[in-house]
Amino acid sequence: MTKIALITGASRGLGAALAEALAPDHHIVAVAKTVGALEELDDRIKAKGGAATLAPMDVTKPDAMAQLCRSIYDRWGHVDLWAHTAIHAAPLTPANHIDARDFSKSVALNVTATATLITMVSPLLEAAENGTALFFEDPHAGQKFFGSYGATKAAQIALARSWQAETTRTGPEVKILTPDPMPTGTRARFFPGEDRAALTSPGDVAQTLLAAL
């Protein structure tokens, strides 16, 4: 049976690195809005002898996600691993200056889409022999200027923790991992001027996280 890895937020950063690291043993279903970045990821996966299905979709669109999950079921019948790395990183700002549009985007992607995807992907993971879902902690809740990102990322992880507690006996296995700081575009927006040479590459982080599973 072909192993299937669904990566939501696969176009860059940790999502892309996980897709490449998993490609030798999994068929990758790569989901992101940026078509060009997905095509570049596909080239790198093919260069390693792997294969991917590109899904240039917006995870905040429930109809699109339902169509994707149905297509995965019709073709393979299951998902072995789901890594959810899609995130909206709102600009840093004092809590009393949060932009309503940025906050709405943060809620839509970081919270609402996560809840929707859990309901849709869960049956696919349950159909696998050892279905596993991965979420990634980034603990900034309560830090100054991180109001939008910190609050919605914390809500996302709270959803994952509830699902984790609910599936301890029944599966799928839900894991919440804390990656080392990486030189991603998101981090660059949060910490401009930081010495990025001191950070761990997404590729190395992906290998470390997967080795620990």
CATH number, residue 199: 3.40.50.720
The two tokens of residue 60 are 């905040």
Average pLDDT, the chain: 96
**Structural domain containing residue 146:** 4-211
* pLDDT less than 70: residues of the chain: none
What is the spatial distance between Cα 167 and Cα 163, in angstroms, rounded to a whole number?
6
Q: Which pLDDT value is given to residue 212?
A: 87
27 forms bridges with which residues in the sheet?
A: 4
Residue in 59, 14, 75 with CA at minimum distance from that of residue 41: 14
Nearest Cα to Cα of residue 117 among 55, 79, 75, 65? 65
pLDDT digits (tens, 9 = 90+) for 168-210: 999 999 999 999 999 998 899 899 989 999 999 999 999 999 9
Nearest to 156 by CA among 107, 111, 203: 111
0.85 exceeded by pTM: yes
Which of these, 17, 5, 10, lies nearest to 34 by C-alpha position? 10
How many independent structural domains does the chain possess?
1
Question: Position 180: which residue type?
Answer: D
The answer to whether 206 touches 17, Cβ cutoff 8 Å, is yes
